[in-house]
Structure 1
Amino acid sequence: MLSILIPIYNYNAYSLVLELHKQCTDCGINFEIISIDDASTQQKSKNKPIQFLTNCFFVELFENIGRSKIRNLLASMSNYEWLLYVDCDTFPKNSDFISNYISQINLSDKKVFFGGIVYTKDKPENDRLLRWIFGQEREAIPLSERKRNPYKTAFVSNILIKKTVFDIFSFDEKITNYGYEDFAFIQTLKLENIDIEHIENPVSHLNLETSSVFLLKTKTALETLLFISKTNSKVEIESKIIKTHKILCALKFNLFIAKLFQKLQVRLEHHLTSEKPSLLVFDCYKIGYFCYLNRK
């Protein structure tokens, strides 16, 4: 019936697994929960009790293999016809999370379902505001809007996929660093005309990294985007960052933007790690850094 797949890195996922285990048991379905720790440097011992829960499996890797490869590895270990990917730093918002997905499987002929993401309404500490604001505005998208843009608004942090689909279209293992592996996978589904059915069945995103860490991860993601844009036309066609960069190149503004970014980088980062970060400034920061990466 259902294989729940959880990639873990530097996070205590035991309470998540315990909740999913309870919900699956209450539904009376055949299930398994497979968790793989991708060579974490923190929280390692806290996840080991997962292996003592019935139908749960915990594997600890001693070398980091990256976000694409670990998701493919999880799928290769699965035994059931439906795969539910859940990020380790999320938690089902409702106690009927699993039963909602089971209902969709029984009622619909779709092969991919996305339940959505929500963030807490409580304002976090000032040094974590950028990630929270970004999540609220760019990831916690209402169902009506998600249905209008099904590929643009889907993420793999809470996605149910029929295994026959994943056997054909897996994650791109050339993407070894952080960022855009989920975007590339979703665009593959789009180009192959595989519908994503959006439903109201969210997980809450729990892990708010500091604004400084989020900026570093954003820069790594943009470096990854540059790498995969050279080999993956699906990403190049759909990425707003790449489209904007091409327009700037056509207007011969790209080198100017790259130089301007170098001059303003410290000031931009100071603003983005402040008490009032702006997503408009964040967008400018991203295109500026991407122009800087492409300056040669």
Structure 2
Amino acid sequence: MKISVCIPIYNFDVRELVYDLKKEIKNQSIDAEIILIDDASEENFKQINKELNDRVGQFVLLEKNVGRSKIRNLFLKHADGDYLLFLDCDVKIDNENFLTNYLKEIERNRGVEVVYGNFKIDLTYSKTLRNRYSVEKEIFSVDRSSDFSLLKTVNFIIKRDIFKKFPFNEHLVNYGYEDFVFAKTLEFGNVKFSAIQNPVIHVDDTSNEVFLNKTETAISSLYQLYQNSENELFIKDIKVFKVAKKIIKFGLKNVFLNFYSLLETKIKKNLLSENPNLSYLDLFKLGLLLKKIK
């Protein structure tokens, strides 16, 4: 069984990640290739990663940025592994048996088609809003699970034939909810799924201000999905969407928005502070979504 390690790159130095993967591939004699696709990064990052040209299976440079969904689908054209292992570019390997752990899970859990390995937070940035959110809302603590809602695209392996059948939704060009929709698509397709503790370390230094901007983009992506009634099946379980629908159903939208307008400045000030409150982030997202829904 061959693994294609697929790393989409955007404005990040991936040399350490690649060399750590190559070390395990060599030491454990794993049948694996590493494929890099750069999504039109800034020139300085292209130059930094240039030394990897002859040290990976393929290194593809895109002239125009295609976004988080389409770039992942592009790996099907370049990778020839039986399983595709997707890693975000801003991660580090935490275990010298990282690839081996995935291989063991596939061997042990016969018929498994998608395995998610979880992630940790680099302690240097653990207090930021983005990483507090990850710790409380995204990282799971159990040893293993078959719950598709745990799936995040930062670190997962998928059978090639399954990925061909259920690719990412390329209508989601911007940041936000592409992993949720992808997971739901796999779940509805009755794909056999496993989540295990085989984490990478996520090195995310996103400032609170940048994360709030990304949150606005994510809510815009959610609203884009909402505008097509066929997507409601995929998004109906998203917490902020469920709450917004209930508020609208009971005719309380204007009441909430009037209340929110009184607190909005205080909420943003807290979220930009050194001690952000995640409950305020929930209100911030809800306010954004309700403002968009007519």
Match of 1:72 in 2: 73
TM-score (norm 1): 0.92
Match of 1:62 in 2: 63
1:157 equivalent to 2:159? Answer no
Does the 8 Å contact 2:125/2:204 carry over to 1?
no
Of 161, 166, 169, 1:169 maps to 166
Q: Return the alpha-carbon distance in structure 1 between the equivalents of residues 271 and 49 of structure 2.
A: 33
Q: Structure 1: where are the runs of 5+ without partners?
A: none
Of 188, 205, 230, 1:191 maps to 188
Q: Return the alpha-carbon distance in structure 2 between the equivalents of residues 228 and 240 of structure 1.
A: 15
Question: Where does 1:1-296 land on structure 2 (aligned, <5 Å)?
Answer: 1-41=2-42, 43-53=45-55, 55-109=56-110, 110-122=112-124, 129-144=128-143, 147=145, 150-231=147-228, 232-294=231-293, 296=294
Q: Return the alpha-carbon distance in structure 1 between the equivalents of residues 264 and 13 of structure 2.
A: 34
Secondary structure of the equivalent of 1:161? strand
For residues 101-136 of structure 1, give each alpha carbon's deviation from its aligned partner in whole angstroms, at most 9, with x where no partner exists. Answer: 111222222111011111134565xxx621121122
Q: Return the alpha-carbon distance in structure 2 between the equivalents of residues 137 and 245 of structure 1.
A: 22
Q: Which amino acid is 2:5 matched to? A: I
Runs of 4+ off more than 6 Å: none
Q: Return the alpha-carbon distance in structure 1 between the equivalents of residues 278 and 89 of structure 2.
A: 26
Q: Return the alpha-carbon distance in structure 1 between the equivalents of residues 226 and 78 of structure 2.
A: 30
Give the number of aligned pairs. 289
Does the 8 Å contact 2:90/2:203 carry over to 1?
yes
User: Equivalent pairs: percent with the same residue?
Assistant: 33
Secondary structure of the equivalent of 1:91? strand
Does the 8 Å contact 1:229/1:235 carry over to 2?
no
C-alpha spacing 1:10/1:123, structure 2 compared with 1 (3 Å): closer
The worse-fitting range, judged by mean Cα deviation, of 128-137 and 63-72 is 128-137
**TM superposition shift of 1:263:** 4.3
Q: Which amino acid is 1:60 matched to? A: L
The worse-fitting range, judged by mean Cα deviation, of 172-181 and 23-32 is 23-32
Q: Return the alpha-carbon distance in structure 1 between the equivalents of residues 183 and 139 of structure 2.
A: 17
Q: Return the alpha-carbon distance in structure 2 between the equivalents of residues 234 and 9 of structure 1.
A: 31
Q: Return the alpha-carbon distance in structure 2 between the equivalents of residues 194 and 170 of structure 1.
A: 13
Q: Return the alpha-carbon distance in structure 2 between the equivalents of residues 18 and 122 of structure 1.
A: 22
**TM superposition shift of 1:257:** 2.4
Q: Return the alpha-carbon distance in structure 2 between the equivalents of residues 153 and 245 of structure 1.
A: 22
Q: Return the alpha-carbon distance in structure 2 between the equivalents of residues 56 and 90 of structure 1.
A: 20
Q: Which amino acid is 1:254 matched to? A: K
Secondary structure of the equivalent of 1:10? coil
For residues 254-281 of structure 1, give each alpha carbon's deviation from its aligned partner in whole angstroms, at most 9, with x where no partner exists. Answer: 2332344344333211100112101111
Does the 8 Å contact 1:258/1:289 carry over to 2?
no
Secondary structure of the equivalent of 1:84? strand
C-alpha spacing 1:262/1:59, structure 2 compared with 1 (3 Å): farther
Backbone CA RMSD of aligned residues? 1.7
Q: Return the alpha-carbon distance in structure 2 between the equivalents of residues 230 and 168 of structure 1.
A: 25
Q: Return the alpha-carbon distance in structure 2 between the equivalents of residues 7 and 156 of structure 1.
A: 11
**TM superposition shift of 1:214:** 0.3
For residues 37-72 of structure 1, give each alpha carbon's deviation from its aligned partner in whole angstroms, at most 9, with x where no partner exists. Answer: 11112522111222121x432111111111110000
TM-score (norm 2): 0.93
Q: Return the alpha-carbon distance in structure 2 between the equivalents of residues 180 and 201 of structure 1.
A: 23
Secondary structure of the equivalent of 2:149? coil
**TM superposition shift of 1:170:** 0.3
Q: Which amino acid is 1:241 matched to? A: V
Q: Return the alpha-carbon distance in structure 2 between the equivalents of residues 15 and 123 of structure 1.
A: 19
Secondary structure of the equivalent of 1:19? helix
Does the 8 Å contact 1:268/1:281 carry over to 2?
yes
